[in-house]
């Protein structure tokens, strides 16, 4: 889940780490777990007062959480960051929640007109080499993974909720009439 109308999920409170109220964060969006960032956990605003661990396995301590028992009471709770506090991204970078629900379009074959709808982005997933869009195919069928690389993604229009992909690069171009299979 990407969060509610005002908050974006930065992860969930995981198991305690040490004795001071620090915890591991499960399903993290590490860029949102910066020291000093204001978060909402179980309906209460708390500042991140400690940040350790790695990007893949962050450890945080939230203001007012002072021991292992307090962490255990919050275990599994979502850590929400207010949209207004999210850091600015570089050109060509997007937050996962901006891409979820976008329509994915394949440009027509060279010489043809129009676009065809491939499906809708379910989520952004992290692969070992890059991030990828998980696309629910139009009319059902297998999920399509579209790597978030320049060769695969021609353009993203968050305002129009559309992502244009290169069907030839993704090997999604049906053969032209008369082509051998």
Q: What is the mean pLDDT of residues 96-113?
A: 77
Asked if residues 80 and 39 have their Cβ atoms less than 8 Å apart, the reply is yes
Closest to 29 in 3D by CA, of 130, 118, 97, 111? 97
Q: Say how far apart CA 16 and CA 81 lie, in whole Å.
A: 21
Q: What is the mean pLDDT of residues 89-108?
A: 83
Fold of 7-85: Elongation Factor Tu (Ef-tu); domain 3 (2.40.30)
Q: Say how far apart CA 70 and CA 40 lie, in whole Å.
A: 15
Backbone angles phi, psi at 119, to 5 degrees: 160, -160
Instruction: List the CATH code of the domain at 96-165.
Output: 2.30.30.240
- What letter does residue 89 receive in the DSSP assignment? P
Q: What is the mean pLDDT of residues 103-115?
A: 70
Asked if residues 20 and 69 have their Cβ atoms less than 8 Å apart, the reply is no
- Answer whether 7-85 and 96-165 agree in fold: no
Q: What pLDDT does residue 111 have? A: 52
Residue 114's pLDDT band (boundaries 50, 70, 90)?
low
**Helix or strand (DSSP H, E) at 70:** helix 68-74
Tell me the CA end-to-end span of the chain in Å, nearest whole number: 41
Q: What pLDDT does residue 181 have? A: 47
Residue 126's pLDDT band (boundaries 50, 70, 90)?
confident
Domain limits, the chain: 7-85, 96-165
Render pLDDT for 61-94 as a digit per residue (tens, 0 to 9).
999 999 999 999 999 999 998 877 777 778 877 8
Asked if residues 35 and 42 have their Cβ atoms less than 8 Å apart, the reply is no
Q: What pLDDT does residue 136 have? A: 92
Least confident of 26-35, 106-115, 145-154: 106-115
DSSP assignment string, 24-42? EEES--GGG--TT-EEEET
Judged against a pLDDT cut of 90, whether residue 97 lies above it is answered with no
Q: What pLDDT does residue 128 have? A: 83
- Token pair for 170: 């993704």
Average pLDDT for the chain? 85
């Amino acid at each position: 889940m990407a969060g509610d109308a005002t908050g974006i999920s930065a992860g969930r409170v995981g198991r305690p780490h040490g004795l001071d109220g620090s915890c591991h964060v499960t399903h993290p969006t590490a860029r949102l777990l910066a020291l000093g960032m204001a978060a909402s956990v179980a309906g209460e605003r708390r500042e991140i007062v400690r940040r350790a661990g790695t990007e893949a396995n962050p450890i945080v301590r939230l203001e007012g959480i002072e021991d292992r028992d307090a962490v255990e009471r919050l275990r599994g709770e979502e850590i929400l960051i207010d949209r207004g506090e999210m850091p600015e991204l570089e050109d060509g970078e997007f937050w996962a929640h901006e891409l979820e629900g976008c329509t994915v379009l394949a440009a027509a074959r060279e010489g043809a007109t129009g676009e065809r709808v491939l499906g809708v982005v379910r989520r952004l997933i992290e692969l070992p080499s890059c991030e990828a869009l998980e696309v629910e195919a139009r009319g059902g069928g297998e999920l399509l993974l579209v790597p978030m690389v320049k060769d695969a993604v021609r353009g993203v229009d968050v305002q129009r909720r559309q992502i244009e992909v290169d069907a030839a690069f993704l090997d999604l171009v049906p053969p032209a009439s008369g082509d051998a299979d």
